Structure 1
């Protein structure tokens, strides 16, 4: 039997203010970069910390660096992930299927604008996103299918390794639900708070053709 450890890292604060960020491609703010530095500090070398903050880190590098770094292609994830991988001479893989949900006509709009124009539709969507997709957007079923497909491909390619996956809040929430055995629970995604640069670890025990997931969140 082997165990694959997956460190899920949400991106930091983004430019654009209080907007609905799906697949709109926006960069991190300076605060967002600092949040990522803090989240990754146990894995940082002094050299990498120096590049982000201008000062040397007081943290000692962690001995258990990931074997591979994977990332959503969106810049709020990919830029920091690639820099981290290059500094530590780790393999780096962009996986398009780990992008956030495509919110269609709602994507990139401020929440004030959305609630002025789509209040009833938004409330219905948050209550049960499997029933009502965003206008011209991706259904929750399609989103969960592509995340599940990407997850399985990752486990098959990197079984027994430690993987750092830099991705989005919606992706991580779905993987948490998967680890907990939760399926299509109304309000689950909105009730699960996941701050910027949050880290969640999932251990996957491989036993022949079976997989057992354990959630580590602290």
Structure 2
């Protein structure tokens, strides 16, 4: 008689805190966290939190906090380049207000349907989702049975949750609010019936 083999993996996704320079379309622009951003991240983590592994975007606003936490708690740390934020092209470094002043319809269309109306010169949503999904699949295999903290970006979290919850790419940006230092917990169960993932918690 064969024994069934079930494993459960937990992923805690956390968005970076406020970066230096204030709100803007940052994308691949590599700003560090502000003092407020550090406070937000430290407040979002508790002594009760326990992880076996930390995975981080290579961008400084994620990596610096992930590195500090990994050193403090002696947890293995992996940088995952596929978890960097979407590249916003011509919008990088600009605020919503400045884009609205120039091309208001462009921003409105992007939020309602980013697939059809990507940022000018930016990364296509379909390609962004594909690279995030490939990282997500990889770490589900790599970290089976462990508790994993993923330090990443608002866009990345939206893509992972879109995969878990089968949200179409057209709705992926507008369907979820992901503020600074927002945490999401995903439970992944694997059995002889396959892999089942569900969102257990989302918010601050």
TM-score higher than 0.5: yes
Distance 2:176 2:134 in 1: 23
Provide the residue aligned with 1:124 in structure 2.
109
RMSD: 1.5
Q: Does 1:18 pair with 2:23?
A: yes
CA distance in 2, matches of 1:182, 1:207: 24
- Pick one of 139, 146, 151 that aligns with 1:154: 139
- Give the C-alpha shift of residue 84 in structure 1: 0.4
Q: What SS does structure 1 have at the residue aligned with 2:169? A: coil
Contact 2:114 2:170 in 1 (8 A): no
Looking at structure 1, the residues matched to 125 and 82 of structure 2 have their Cα atoms a distance apart, in angstroms, of 14
What 5-or-longer segments of structure 2 have no aligned partner?
1-5
For 1:50, the equivalent position in structure 2 comes to none
SS state of the match for residue 32, structure 2? coil
Q: Which residue of 2 aligns with 1:211?
A: 195
CA–CA distance in structure 1, aligned partners of residues 92 and 150 of structure 2 = 23
Structure 1 stretches of 5 or more lacking a match?
A: 43-60
Aligned residue in 2 for 1:52: none
Q: CA deviation at 1:217?
A: 1.3
Structure 2 residue aligned with 1:48: none
Where in structure 1 do 4 or more consecutive aligned residues deviate above 6 Å?
A: none
The 3-state SS of whatever aligns with 2:24 is: coil
Contact 1:132-1:139 at 8 Å conserved across structures: no
1: CA distance between counterparts of 2:167 and 2:111?
A: 16
Q: d(CA) in 1 for partners of 2:95 and 2:15?
A: 21
Shift of 1:22: 1.1
Do the aligned partners of 2:27 and 2:86 also contact (CA within 8 Å) in 1? yes
Distance 1:152 1:208 in 2: 18
